[in-house]
């Protein structure tokens, strides 16, 4: 999963979107997609200080589907049935 807070931190510190993408091993489109919410909220690089906690809260608000840490892999229960065999 992409760490949205890390994208915001790099961008807010003044790196352009290409530099953020290269630093984090992401595509520019991915970085643009996540930063669009920050830009729509009026955030700009080098603006007023934003705490890490606030960036985390904003990321959870803007992208609730990424904040859900529950197990999403539907095949894991089927695989778990064979765990003992694999361990042995």
pLDDT tens figures, 45-82? 888 887 878 878 888 888 877 766 565 666 778 888 89
Give the three-state DSSP class for 87.
helix
In 3D space, the residue among 1, 62, 55 whose CA is nearest the CA of residue 33 turns out to be 62
| Polymer length of the chain | 88
How many domains are there within the chain? 1
pLDDT the model gives residue 57: 84
pLDDT for 20:
93
Question: Is residue 14 exposed (0-12), middle (13-18) or buried (19+ Cβ within 10 Å)?
Answer: exposed
Report pLDDT digits (tens) over 8-53.
889 988 999 999 999 999 999 999 998 998 888 888 888 888 787 8
Give the domain range for residue 34: 4-87
Cβ distance 59 to 66 under 8 Å? yes
- The model carries a pTM of 0.64
């Amino acid at each position: 999963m992409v760490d949205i807070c890390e994208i915001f931190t790099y961008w807010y510190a003044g790196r352009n979107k290409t530099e953020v993408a290269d630093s984090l091993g992401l595509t520019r489109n991915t970085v643009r997609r996540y930063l669009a919410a920050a830009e729509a909220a009026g955030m700009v690089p080098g603006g007023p200080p934003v705490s890490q906690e606030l960036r985390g809260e904003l990321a959870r608000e803007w992208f609730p589907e990424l904040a859900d840490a529950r197990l999403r892999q539907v095949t894991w229960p089927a695989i778990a049935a064979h765990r003992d065999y694999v361990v042995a």
